[in-house]
């Protein structure tokens, strides 16, 4: 349930609880007055008061509904927040780039050699230490935000013909940052590894990013 629906539910509940409390209070008073005297015009006024309160409460809820509903993100916005990617057409050693929230996301199907190179690294030698195992969900598939952590250029390395840098991963030509086959910064001015976007495998060959 979204936050705005929760707010609406609380609002409607609040109105009903308020009406219930008012009604209870009035009916107790009515009962008490009935015992003192049979005052029919006053009872009728109380009934009208309770009815108008209830109808007013429902009216407020109905009036508020479009405003509260408009607070939810539109469906096309929600769709932009996540992207499903079919991996079945990507061969070993190939990479593709997809867009997610306006950013390029690199998806690389790594070779055995690239996986071994990513694993056999002394973490103490890294500027931004991170084990390869902690950067992948399946060693064969590396998913990275394709945004250099120096000043935000898009590194080279996605095409077979691209320069991949000294560590055979990605190379950012803007100021010369080299990333390895796990997307970790190894040389150059970039301070951090390429970021890993939130994603999950929804089947053996499809991931959902976002
Ligand atoms: S933006 Fe990539 S090295 Fe500067």
Tens digits of pLDDT across the chain (210 residues): 455 555 666 766 676 667 667 666 666 665 666 666 555 555 666 666 666 666 666 666 666 666 556 666 565 555 568 999 999 999 999 999 999 999 999 999 999 999 999 999 999 999 999 999 999 999 999 999 999 999 999 999 999 999 999 999 999 999 999 999 999 999 999 999 999 999 999 999 999 999
Where is 16: in which H helix or E strand?
helix 3-36
pTM here is 0.66
Pick the catalytic residue from 62, 175, 191, 200: 175
In angstroms, the CA 80 to CA 106 distance is 17
Q: What CATH number is associated with residue 160?
A: 2.102.10.10
Name the domain boundary from 72, 97, 122.
72
Q: Which domain holds residue 139?
A: 78-209
Do residue 50 and residue 12 come from a single domain? yes
With the most atoms of ligand 1 within 8 angstroms of its CB, the residue from 145, 174, 191 to mutate is 174
Do residue 180 and residue 91 come from a single domain? yes
- pLDDT per residue over 13-28, tens digit each? 676 667 667 666 666 6
Do residue 193 and residue 98 come from a single domain? yes
CA distances in angstroms from 81 to 20, 25, 192, listed in the order given: 42, 49, 24
The count of structural domains within the chain is 2
Name the domain boundary from 37, 72, 107.
72
Do residue 96 and residue 144 come from a single domain? yes
């Amino acid at each position: 349930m979204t936050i705005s629906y929760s707010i609406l539910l609380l609002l409607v509940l609040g109105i009903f609880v308020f009406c219930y409390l008012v009604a209870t209070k009035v009916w107790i008073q009515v009962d008490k007055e009935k015992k003192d005297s049979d005052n029919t015009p006053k009872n009728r006024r109380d009934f009208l008061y309770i009815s108008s309160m209830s109808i007013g409460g429902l009216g407020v809820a109905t009036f508020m509904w479009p405003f509260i509903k408009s607070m939810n993100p539109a469906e096309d916005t929600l769709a932009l927040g996540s992207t499903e990617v079919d991996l079945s057409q990507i061969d070993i050693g190939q990479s593709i780039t997809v867009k997610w929230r306006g950013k390029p996301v690199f998806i690389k199907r790594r070779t055995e050699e690239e996986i071994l190179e990513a694993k056999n690294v002394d973490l103490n030698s890294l500027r931004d230490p991170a084990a390869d195992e902690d950067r992948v969900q399946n060693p064969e598939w590396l998913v990275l935000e394709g945004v250099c952590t120096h000043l935000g250029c898009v590194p080279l390395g996605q095409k077979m013909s691209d320069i991949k840098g000294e560590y055979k991963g990605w190379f950012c030509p803007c100021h010369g940052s080299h990333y390895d086959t796990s997307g970790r910064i190894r040389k150059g001015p970039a301070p951090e590894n390429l970021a890993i976007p939130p994603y999950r495998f929804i089947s053996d060959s499809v991931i959902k990013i976002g």
